[in-house]
Every structure is written in structure tokens, then in C-alpha cells.
Amino acid sequence: MAGAYDDRDGMIWMDGKLIPWRDANVHILTHAMHYASSVFEGERAYGGTIFKSREHSVRLRRSANMIDFDIPYSVDEIETAKADVMAANGLSDAYVRAVAWRGAGEDMGVASARNPVRMAVACWEWGAYYGDAKMKGARLDISKWKRPSPETIPSHAKAAGLYMICTMSKHAAEARGCSDAMMFDYRGYVAEATGANIFFVKDGEVHTPTPDCFLNGITRQTVIGMLKDLQIKVHERHIMPEELEGFEQCWLTGTAAEVTPVGRIGDYNFEVGAMARDIATRYEQLVRA
């Protein structure tokens, strides 16, 4: 599948039924377009099975609750929708995007309680998120934008509006020849990349930021479990910017990113070392098991 995302062959599940890809449209006065009242999930299927699919469906509904709406489909119904859309498109290895939002209705101000909640699921083929970085190590810029305080946003929701500064950060990074950007949080601690969590290695032990103001990713949790099974010590803690110089290896985790080694962040260089490669390989084996 190739071309613009609004002009492709295939089927999309929308509001309870499969419809032709090009017909999956919303009205210009859709509330989510104006006020970011939308949540989503990014998932990957390997050999016909979506990795940790049910966890993603549960999180989608929870994210919606965090931004004050209820998705009118149960976890089981969402699971069925994902399976149906993959089958309709004949895909077994795919990226799956489930999205729910407040649609157009009687309200067109900030409040939107009378507007219908809508949902869609699409899937498509998508290769490595960072291209050949899995072998060479991704190059990251350092964003000028910071992850905000959880007192200002629902930071643990996978909500569309929270990605505005991520888009701007990634655009700035790409303009500098980087794959992505690392972000600090509102206190100045290392937080995450624009769409992936981050890990560091020093003296055989792993350090990763505490997810107290950003999403505790499903892939992040999976990798921490793998490390602990391997008896590798994992420190979940606040990481200061000056510590970057002392770390030996680094990698990113996320559904799209999977496990991607990092070779450089700003002026700091990292080895694409044995642990990063091993975890990336083990993760690949796990998702395809």
C-alpha cells in the first residue's frame, strides 16, 4: 500500500462497520478537529496477531475516560473490529491504528457533551519507523519543548492533543538531519522521545526515566520485564541532562519504534552495543513467538 493516506484501496472499520478506505471521512466541524477531543492507539501485528492487542484496547478506553468521554464499544468489540479490518485488508504483518473522537453534533464550542463519540480502526503495512537506525543507531536532536506537568494535561492518556509539541519537535529534528528528538520534562529531567520511551546503559545496568508525566508505554513495560527476566538491574528514576555524558548505550522503545538503538543525542554519542542489540533481537523474537 502506498500513496497519500486518504487515497488508498482497502477497508476501514468506522462506527461499527467496514467501509471503503476513501469513504472514511468526517465533517469539517468535527469537535476533535477543533478542540483535540481524540484518543488513539498504535499497534503492530506480527504473523496475524496484534502484539498485546487487548492491553491496547483497554488503554484506548481508559484514555477516553481521562479526557472525559466514553467509547461506545467494549474491549471485546474493539478487538473484533481490529481483527475484521486486518482480514478485510488481507494483512498479517501490519500497523493498526484505532482512534476515537468527539464528532460533529449539537455543540460547537469547547463543551461537547451532546456530540456523538465516534471510532475507527485502520491498518496498513509499515516498515521500520527509523529506517536503518536499528543497525546504525538513530540520531536524536534535543527538543526545545518540554513535557508538561500532569497538573496541566492528562499526561497518561494517549490523547491526540498531547502530540502537538511532539510534531513540532520532530519537524525541527528532521530539519537538522536527525530521526527524532529527545524531550526533557517541565522540571528539566530527561523524559522521552516524541513517540517513544528511552533507556540508557551504564556499567551493565539500565536506567530509564520515571513515567510520572508522560506515557508509560506498553513496549516500555514489556522491555523492562525482559530485562528483569535476564537479571539485569533496571533503575526507573529521574535522570538529569548532565548524566547523558556518562551513559554508554541508549535505545528507544515503542510500538512503531519497537526497540531501536540510539547512536547520538545532541552532542552525546552512544555505542550501538551488545545489550541494545540483544534486547532488540529478543523483542523481535517475542513479538513473533
Q: Is the whole model's pTM more than 0.85, yes or no?
A: yes
pLDDT mean values, one per 10 residues, the chain (289 residues): 87 98 97 97 97 98 98 98 98 97 96 96 90 83 98 97 97 97 98 98 98 98 98 98 98 96 97 96 96
Same domain, 83 and 197: no
Are the C-beta atoms of residues 11 and 88 closer than 8 Å to each other? yes
| Domain around 209 | 133-287
| Residue where a domain stops, chosen among 86, 105, 124 | 124
Same domain, 90 and 191: no
Give the model's pLDDT for residue 121: 98
Same domain, 262 and 193: yes
Give the model's pLDDT for residue 1: 52
> Residue 17 catalytic?
no
Same domain, 281 and 231: yes
Give the model's pLDDT for residue 3: 82
Q: Residue 17: which CATH number?
A: 3.30.470.10
Same domain, 245 and 143: yes
Decide if 2 is inside a domain.
no
Same domain, 60 and 137: no
Same domain, 140 and 280: yes
| Residue where a domain stops, chosen among 92, 124, 156 | 124
Decide if 1 is inside a domain.
no
| Residue where a domain stops, chosen among 95, 124, 153 | 124
Give the model's pLDDT for residue 136: 84
Same domain, 185 and 84: no
Active-site pick, 82, 134, 158, 170: 158
Same domain, 64 and 172: no
Same domain, 151 and 91: no
Total structural domains within the chain: 2
The distance from CA 108 to its chain's CA centroid, rounded to whole angstroms, is 29
Decide if 232 is inside a domain.
yes
Decide if 81 is inside a domain.
yes
Decide if 153 is inside a domain.
yes
Report the distance separating Cα 66 and Cα 157, nearest Å: 6
Q: How many CB atoms lie within 10 A of CB 251?
A: 32
Report the distance separating Cα 250 and Cα 262, nearest Å: 5
